[in-house]
Amino acid sequence: MVAAMFPWQNETMDKKNNTLDADPELIRRVEALVAETRRSREEIINDALRSYLDWHEDFVRSVSEGLEAADRGDFASPEEVERVLDKYRPT
C-alpha cells in the first residue's frame, strides 16, 4: 500500500485532517475523477465513503431485521416461497 494524504471534512464534526492509506489504483481513480469532474478530492472521497456507509448500514439493518424475524419464527410458508420462485423460473 502507498500512503496518500487525503484530508476530508466530516459534516458531523469540525474540520479534521485525516490520513488515508490507499492503494495506488484507488489514488489514481480519485485523481482521475478530480481532473475529469473538477470536484475536489474531499468531495469525491466524502461521496464515496457516504455511499459505501449508507449501503452497508442499510444491509446490516436489513440482515438484523431478518434475523430478528427468524428468531420470532416469522418465516415464509412453502407456498409463499414457491410463488416467489415461480416468478423467476424459466417458462
**51 vs 76, residue with greater confidence:** 51
Whether the Cβ atoms of residue 44 and residue 50 lie closer than 8 Å to each other: no
Number of domains in the chain: 1
pLDDT in tens, 10-23: 455 566 788 889 99
Element holding 88 (H helix, E strand): helix 78-88
The pLDDT confidence band at residue 8, using thresholds 50, 70 and 90, is very low
Tell me which residue range forms the domain holding 35: 2-88
- CA pair distance 7, 16, nearest whole angstrom: 7
48 closest CA partner among 61, 60, 36, 39: 39
Joined together, the cell numbers standing for residue 22 give 490507499
Whether the Cβ atoms of residue 8 and residue 46 lie closer than 8 Å to each other: yes
Residue 20's pLDDT is 84
